[in-house]
Amino acid sequence: MDGDRIDGLGRRAIGRWCALDADWQGSLVALAIAAAVAFGVEIP
Amino acid sequence: MIAAVGRALPGIVALCLGALAARWFAALVGINELLLAIGLGVALANTVGVPDPLRVGMETHDVWLAAGIVLLGSSLTVGSVLETGSSVLLLVVAAVTGTVFIVEAVARNVAGVTERLGSLLAAGAGICGVSAVVAVGGAVRAKETQIAYAAGVVLLVDAVTIVVYPIVGSVLDLPGTVFGVWAGVSMLSTGPVVAVGFAHSEVAGEWATLTKLARNALIGAVALGYASYYARRGSGGPTSVRMLWANFPKFVLGFLAFVGLASVGVFAPEQRASMASAVDWLFLVAFVGLGTEIRVADLRRTGVVPALVVFTAVSIVSVLSLSVALAVF
């Protein structure tokens, strides 16, 4: 059951991602990197 | 949907491998890694060609370029931008206006290029390359062949300036700010501007990006100007806010948001260092992909006259803007 729900959420997320243009996708990638850095990830 | 990710993954992995190879080889032979990354892409596309399984992933280079530009905002502050920002803004407005008028004048009065193609070339040369061509193409109801033609000319000029600007910068030993502002004001597409800027120096890269983003932000004004011009003559297309927004480079907003966050001290120095490393990697990955877009066979098909029109305008604006940048910065 949980597996199905997670699978469904994943598919929806990928669907929404694909619907975005490169500018928005890039901005979200930047946001994800900034969040990772804020949580202590170091990028060499 | 999962299949879409699967289709992109091989190409993205190839871009990452290309970026690693560029960094490793550049350190080995002492060549700039960003220009080498573009060179790797050009070599792949013009020898064996981009293999079909890699094509979708390699076309994601715009995503990595946008991500790099947004993150680059974390290394600037509002204060540093305002320091020389007003002079840059004036130069940007003058260069965009000058380029558009020169291309229009040469295209119509000297080269005999059709009016709509001339307008597309003027927008592509004045603002931000292919995005501006597409935005203005919609506003003036240009034919698809004219849009493709103008986009081809923009890519041809990009390919030449990627080689020429670093050489001129090195021969004239231009300071970082001057080189950055000059490249940002007079080169065409965003990717090549960022590439040659950071290939020159960190400072040049930051100023090249900032100047180019200021230019990109004028895309709406130029598209509206053309739309109203052609509409008054009864030959324009409908221009909506939605259409202008669709072609507006949204990463400019992300970049400004990060400049704002950096200005209020959200990022610690070590976090800024990590994000600066991320920017380097993102640009390397993006530029391998950007290189694959430079295909000599496609460039050969570009018409000589439209290309000469844009080269003339870019040369004039380039010389004038370099003189002004040297005097002001």
Nearest CA in chain A to B271: A37
Cβ distance of B249 and A23 shorter than 8 Å: yes
3-class DSSP state of A44: coil
Whether B268 has a pLDDT exceeding 80, the answer reads: yes
Extract the residue ranges of chain A whose pLDDT is less than 50: none
pLDDT (0 to 100) of residue B168: 96
Residue type at position B173: D
**What is the distance in angstroms between the Cα of A40 and the nearest Cα belonging to chain B?**
8
- Chosen for mutation from B9, B56, B244, B271 (greatest number of chain A CBs closer than 10 Å) is B271
Nearest to A14 among B1, B66, B278 (CB): B1
Mean pLDDT of chain B: 88
3-class DSSP state of B233: coil
How many CB atoms within 10 Å of residue B124? 30
pLDDT (0 to 100) of residue B238: 60
> ipTM above 0.90?
no
**What is the distance in angstroms between the Cα of B219 and the nearest Cα belonging to chain A?**
15
Nearest CA in chain A to B62: A22
Residue A32's contacts (CB-CB under 8 Å, 6 or more residues apart) are none
- Chosen for mutation from A14, A18, A20, A43 (greatest number of chain B CBs closer than 10 Å) is A43
Residue type at position B132: A
Nearest CA in chain B to A28: B67
Torsion of CA B296, B297, B300, B303, to 10 degrees: -120
Give, for B67, the enclosing helix (H) or strand (E): helix B61-72
Mean pLDDT of B16-36: 92
Per the model's pLDDT, the better-predicted residue between B122 and B6 turns out to be B122
**What is the distance in angstroms between the Cα of B66 and the nearest Cα belonging to chain A?**
5
pLDDT (0 to 100) of residue B236: 58
User: What residues 68-107 of chain B have any CB closer than 8 A to a CB of chain A?
Assistant: 68-71, 74
**What is the distance in angstroms between the Cα of B67 and the nearest Cα belonging to chain A?**
4
pLDDT (0 to 100) of residue B1: 56
Mean pLDDT of B153-162: 90
Q: In percent, how much of chain B has pLDDT > 70?
A: 96
B44-77 confidence digits (pLDDT tens): 999 999 999 999 999 999 999 999 999 988 988 8
pLDDT (0 to 100) of residue B2: 66
Tell me the pTM.
0.83
Measured in residues, chain B has a length of 329
Residue B279: band (very low, low, confident or very high) from pLDDT cuts 50, 70, 90: very high
Residue B89: band (very low, low, confident or very high) from pLDDT cuts 50, 70, 90: confident
Measured in residues, chain A has a length of 44
